[in-house]
Structure 1
Amino acid sequence: MPTSLTLTRARLGSGGPLGGLRITDGRITALGPDVTGGDGPVRDLDGRTVLPGLWDAHVHLGQWAKVRHQLDLAGAASAREAAEAVRAYAAATAGAGAGAGPVVGYGFRDGLWPDTPEKSLLDAVCPDRAVALVSGDLHAAWFNSAGLTLVGRAGHPTGLLREGDAFRAVSALPDVPSGVLDGWVADACGAAAARGVCGVVDFHIADNVGDWTRRAARARPGVRVDAAVYPPYLDEVLARGLRTGDALPGTGGLVRIGPLKLFTDGSLNTRTALCRDPYPGLEGTPGEYGVEETPYEELVRLMRRAAEHGIMPAVHAIGDRANTRALDAFAEVGRAGRIEHAQLLSPDDVARFAALGVTAGVQPAHATDDRDVADRHWAGRTGRAFAYGDLLAAGAQLEFGSDAPVSPLDPWIGIAAAVHRTADERPAWHPEQRMAVGDALTASARGRAALAVGDAADLVVVDVDPLKADAATLRAMPVHATLTDGRFTHGPV
């Protein structure tokens, strides 16, 4: 394989000049108007734009790979409509022997439904086959009676489980063989590369270090992967002396140790995000302010233990009270790290991200997906929800992700949402929180604002300069090619 590749007649960055770019042994070694050829192949890009390669800084890759093969419930407008989709799917899949396995669906969002998910609805449409439906935010699961029995929850009064109960029930479902899942994950990585993705932070709730070691032994990963660690696997990682950023042996440097994932609260759609104000209609109930997932003292203990051994903490926090607690914990531990989601913020907390060195790992597509849910359940507070403009103005570092499967693993959807704050014909939702195109691209490229000699040759080539793209074109950006470590992972070879 040649060690040198030259890209010519390329626009070098969004709004940049025309020129060439040379790659040698996986790194950019020359850049500018006079770069025209080299020892290896030359690719004429015909004026297309070359950008730093994109990352998805928050994805549940195993779950994303699975839901691509499951019943899609994202469009269901009510519990009854979702149940009818189950009826049709069960009938369509029963003939090929699938009836022995559960009907598994994904993507329902009940936060705005006029009716309530109940096991009786699913029992009526699918009485003899287990049904397990996972919510679009991953924080709730809806089962029929047979499904509850399958996961050891027979007799549950409603069939709708939330937070830890839901996570445990879903994990008890029969899983696909590892070889099948690895194939699905490889396909998902290929699809991500086709959208310009060079790397992901994989927050799949599993033994990610072990899983990615196995996958890399079978085939070269299609993207770079930072494999997140969960508390049950922390001791093993520490025993091996691994730290965040270390390459996993046998992965060619493409898989590295990621952060330790911890939870402070739940989610908005499930009304379990921990907030300072009660949720409408839940006043006076035990869950009126949401759910505290990890007590503060335990959060600090785990963060400190990880940080002292070189593992960066990444703390899930969605509600404003949860974000305050997460920031307080970072201040007490005295180490930098990440807050994942940072959806609702108290005004006094915005500046603390930069002051404490805490990166905000955010998912701009959630702002457009959840605007109606937020307007209902966070009424009067949405001016400080998904407050990317405020965070950027305060000096915080933002990194974009999708939280796939919560939103699709496609960075251009998030970039367009951050820039335009709408995904339909409606006006921008809180346009004061918009980001400039350049800032959104930087947040999608892990802080790489421009091409530079010496950088890894992780690149995306697009047909339209993002600075000249309208909202629809930006969202559906045509990607001509993607290179990771100087190799084409999508496009011409």
Structure 2
Amino acid sequence: MFLLKNAKIYTQHKPHPTTEAILIHQGKILAIGQTDDLLNFNPSPTEIINLEGKTILPGLCDSHLHLAYLGKYLNAVNCETPTKAACLQNIRERVQKTPRGEWIYGHGWNQNEWTEGFGNIQELDAISTEHPIYLTAKSLHAGWANSKAFELAGIYSNTPNPLGGKYERDENGQLTGILYETAIFELEKAIPQPNHLQMAELLDLVQQHLWSYGITAVHDFDRIQCFKGLQTLEAQGKLNLRVLKSIPAESLDHFLNAGIISEFGSEFIKIGPVKLFSDGALGPQTAAMLTPYENQPNNYGNLLLTAEEVFDFGKRASSNQLALAVHAIGDQANRIVLDGLEKLRHYEKQNQLIPSKHRIEHVQCIHPQDLQRLAKLNIFASVQPIHLISDMEMADFHWGKRSAWTYAFKDLQNSGATLIFGSDAPVESANPYIGMFSALQRTKQNGKPELGWHSKQKLDLETILNAYTTNPAFAAGWSESIGSLKPGANADLIVLNEDPFHFPPNRFYNLKPIRTMVGGKWVWQSEVFE
């Protein structure tokens, strides 16, 4: 049993929002309160740590990321460069260090940031035709590959486009090297996959990376291989990250046949919602819109689901106590998904089913007429504030006046919707303090635009912390054990030198914890306590 004393503790527990000491025993919070009271607790603490005025918060939750992709990204070639030439140079340098025949993986390119726009297959072939090269876009909704990668994947100029995806071709019908949406999965089938032991090792590195940001829980949206790796890591006694693991739509039948329901699992892994995609993304202009993209009169984006299909998936899921998590970026996609979920709520009520914890992932651009519907239908708004920093100029350029209802955090809050915040890592950094900064300021890190992009959508810090702690804990069925610091909860917490409530909002991206605790164990530290 040990005591953390002389701290500024924000508990996220409404009956006792702040305190100065916390007593921990066998991985749980035994008591919170005044130091003198806890020193006299029976039995008394055997270890006392004086935090000398430092701040304690509950461990943070990233409500939308991709663990295995993040692991790959940590070892990937950096393609998030200001110019295409810089990206190609990074690839060239990695090729020079890599044995022939081995895959070169890179991530982060965004053609909207490059003067020349998209890359092409010839540019990658000029670097190597003996290494398969595959580079994922920052959005993870597009890819760029060389001839060797296409060859190994069995994709040629006459290969039909997969359902919901596209192999881009030039005017002569030849592959350009660019793939969209589900087409990237077809190419990725050719990439050697790590076995469950290798995946567990990769995920161990990822959890250490996340601890350094004070993230102690996540809602993961990777695939089954990641699930196997997580189970292996837990069996090895090494998993110290609480994971709500989503079910890929293509794996739904396996889970239904096994009778597995949402929130089933262990102390560290719980089964989450079934993940569906209703559209693409803003970057490649595949997000489904009600009206065309600016300067592209024939482009409405890619709608991948109808309302009836959302309902059909949802009916199968809800009937078996599983929830839906539906990716929706564009205003048309959000409307279609809400139409399907509205029908699903009626179905649940008619059939006396327990209402599932359905959610929409991203809710990036939502028409004002649809704003009230999430709260009315009790749908979680799972959004990633950090995207705003990268997307504000693209949204203005491609969506024009519709950008006014993009990343509408305040409007969603005012509507009564429950906000849960994440990063979409590795699409963006997993650093939650950049996300907090974005929701507080709505500017880039250079402070532009000066008053904030659509500044009326700024949020206060209390709301933001709820979206990183108590709200995602509720969405995962973990309200009693994580998300707040209260007696009986798991001792998942972080220590900071600074008090976020007395820290300049325009410098929030500089915040970082000095220690992270999971289940009463210090799992990460940058500073040793005396």
Q: TM-score scaled to structure 1, two decimals?
A: 0.92
Kept in 2, the 8 Å contact 1:363–1:401? The answer is yes
Tell me the residue number matched to 2:284. Answer: 270
For residue 86 of structure 1, the aligned residue among 84, 91, 98 is 91
Letter aligned with residue 189 of structure 2: S
Q: Which shows bigger deviation, 194-203 or 465-474?
A: 465-474
Tell me the residue number matched to 1:63. Answer: 69
Q: In the TM superposition, what is the alpha-carbon distance from 1:99 to its structure 2 partner? A: 2.4
Letter aligned with residue 203 of structure 1: F
Paired with 2:484 and 2:440, the residues of 1 have a C-alpha distance of 18
Paired with 1:282 and 1:159, the residues of 2 have a C-alpha distance of 22
Q: In the TM superposition, what is the alpha-carbon distance from 1:159 to its structure 2 partner? A: 1.0
Paired with 1:143 and 1:192, the residues of 2 have a C-alpha distance of 29
Give the secondary-structure state (helix, strand or coil) at the position aligned to 1:275. coil
Paired with 2:153 and 2:295, the residues of 1 have a C-alpha distance of 31
Give yes or no for the alignment of 1:297 onto 2:308. Answer: yes
Tell me the residue number matched to 1:150. Answer: 152
Q: In the TM superposition, what is the alpha-carbon distance from 1:196 to its structure 2 partner? A: 0.9
Tell me the residue number matched to 1:476. Answer: 510
Give yes or no for the alignment of 1:222 onto 2:228. Answer: no
Distance 1:40 1:172, change over 3 A: farther
Letter aligned with residue 307 of structure 2: Y
Paired with 2:78 and 2:276, the residues of 1 have a C-alpha distance of 28
Tell me the residue number matched to 1:198. Answer: 216
State the aligned residue count: 478
Paired with 2:37 and 2:502, the residues of 1 have a C-alpha distance of 25
Kept in 1, the 8 Å contact 2:469–2:484? The answer is no
Give yes or no for the alignment of 1:462 onto 2:496. Answer: yes
Q: In the TM superposition, what is the alpha-carbon distance from 1:350 to its structure 2 partner? A: 1.2
Q: In the TM superposition, what is the alpha-carbon distance from 1:452 to its structure 2 partner? A: 2.9
Give yes or no for the alignment of 1:129 onto 2:126. Answer: no
Q: In the TM superposition, what is the alpha-carbon distance from 1:490 to its structure 2 partner? A: 1.9
Give yes or no for the alignment of 1:440 onto 2:464. Answer: yes
Correspondences of 1:238-387 after superposition (within 5 Å): 238-248=256-266, 253-284=267-298, 288-334=299-345, 335=355, 336-387=357-408
Distance 1:81 1:190, change over 3 A: closer
Paired with 1:219 and 1:72, the residues of 2 have a C-alpha distance of 32
Letter aligned with residue 111 of structure 2: D
Q: Which shows bigger deviation, 270-279 or 292-301?
A: 292-301
RMSD: 2.0
Kept in 2, the 8 Å contact 1:416–1:475? The answer is yes
Distance 1:266 1:77, change over 3 A: same
Deviation per CA, 1:90-134: give whole Å up to 9, x if none.
Answer: 22x14xxx2221221100011343323211121223233221111
Q: In the TM superposition, what is the alpha-carbon distance from 1:146 to its structure 2 partner? A: 1.4
Letter aligned with residue 64 of structure 1: L
For residue 13 of structure 1, the aligned residue among 5, 10, 13 is 10
Q: In the TM superposition, what is the alpha-carbon distance from 1:362 to its structure 2 partner? A: 0.7
Give the secondary-structure state (helix, strand or coil) at the position aligned to 1:28. strand
Deviation per CA, 1:329-372: give whole Å up to 9, x if none.
Answer: 11100144110000001001111111111011111000111112
Paired with 1:275 and 1:309, the residues of 2 have a C-alpha distance of 32
Kept in 2, the 8 Å contact 1:84–1:125? The answer is no
Letter aligned with residue 299 of structure 1: V
Paired with 1:213 and 1:174, the residues of 2 have a C-alpha distance of 21
Tell me the residue number matched to 1:114. Answer: 115
Correspondences of 1:167-178 after superposition (within 5 Å): 167-178=185-196
Distance 1:265 1:446, change over 3 A: farther
Give the secondary-structure state (helix, strand or coil) at the position aligned to 1:316. strand
Letter aligned with residue 366 of structure 1: H
Tell me the residue number matched to 1:490. Answer: 524
Kept in 1, the 8 Å contact 2:29–2:490? The answer is yes
Tell me the residue number matched to 2:231. Answer: 213
Deviation per CA, 1:377-420: give whole Å up to 9, x if none.
Answer: 11111111011011111111111111110011221111111111
Kept in 2, the 8 Å contact 1:209–1:257? The answer is no
Kept in 1, the 8 Å contact 2:203–2:229? The answer is no
Distance 1:213 1:312, change over 3 A: same
Tell me the residue number matched to 1:406. Answer: 427
Paired with 1:461 and 1:131, the residues of 2 have a C-alpha distance of 42
Paired with 2:192 and 2:294, the residues of 1 have a C-alpha distance of 37
Kept in 2, the 8 Å contact 1:229–1:258? The answer is yes
Distance 1:31 1:168, change over 3 A: same
Kept in 2, the 8 Å contact 1:21–1:35? The answer is no
Paired with 1:365 and 1:26, the residues of 2 have a C-alpha distance of 32
Q: Which shows bigger deviation, 186-195 or 173-182?
A: 173-182
Give yes or no for the alignment of 1:417 onto 2:438. Answer: yes
Q: In the TM superposition, what is the alpha-carbon distance from 1:453 to its structure 2 partner? A: 2.9
Letter aligned with residue 411 of structure 1: P
Moved over 4 A (4+): 14-18
Identity, % of aligned positions? 29
Tell me the residue number matched to 2:171. Answer: none
Paired with 1:14 and 1:31, the residues of 2 have a C-alpha distance of 9
Give the secondary-structure state (helix, strand or coil) at the position aligned to 1:378. helix
Paired with 1:90 and 1:220, the residues of 2 have a C-alpha distance of 34
| Structure 2, unpaired ranges of 5+ | 158-173, 346-354, 474-482
Paired with 1:380 and 1:268, the residues of 2 have a C-alpha distance of 15
Letter aligned with residue 101 of structure 2: A
Tell me the residue number matched to 2:103. Answer: 102
Kept in 1, the 8 Å contact 2:10–2:19? The answer is no
| Structure 1, unpaired ranges of 5+ | none
Give yes or no for the alignment of 1:393 onto 2:414. Answer: yes
Paired with 2:462 and 2:8, the residues of 1 have a C-alpha distance of 15
Kept in 1, the 8 Å contact 2:80–2:87? The answer is no
Q: In the TM superposition, what is the alpha-carbon distance from 1:457 to its structure 2 partner? A: 2.1
Q: In the TM superposition, what is the alpha-carbon distance from 1:63 to its structure 2 partner? A: 0.5
Q: In the TM superposition, what is the alpha-carbon distance from 1:485 to its structure 2 partner? A: 2.3
Q: In the TM superposition, what is the alpha-carbon distance from 1:140 to its structure 2 partner? A: 0.4
Paired with 1:130 and 1:57, the residues of 2 have a C-alpha distance of 33
Paired with 2:221 and 2:199, the residues of 1 have a C-alpha distance of 16
Q: In the TM superposition, what is the alpha-carbon distance from 1:207 to its structure 2 partner? A: 4.4
Tell me the residue number matched to 2:55. Answer: 49
Distance 1:298 1:18, change over 3 A: closer
Tell me the residue number matched to 2:32. Answer: 31
Letter aligned with residue 382 of structure 2: G
Kept in 2, the 8 Å contact 1:14–1:466? The answer is no
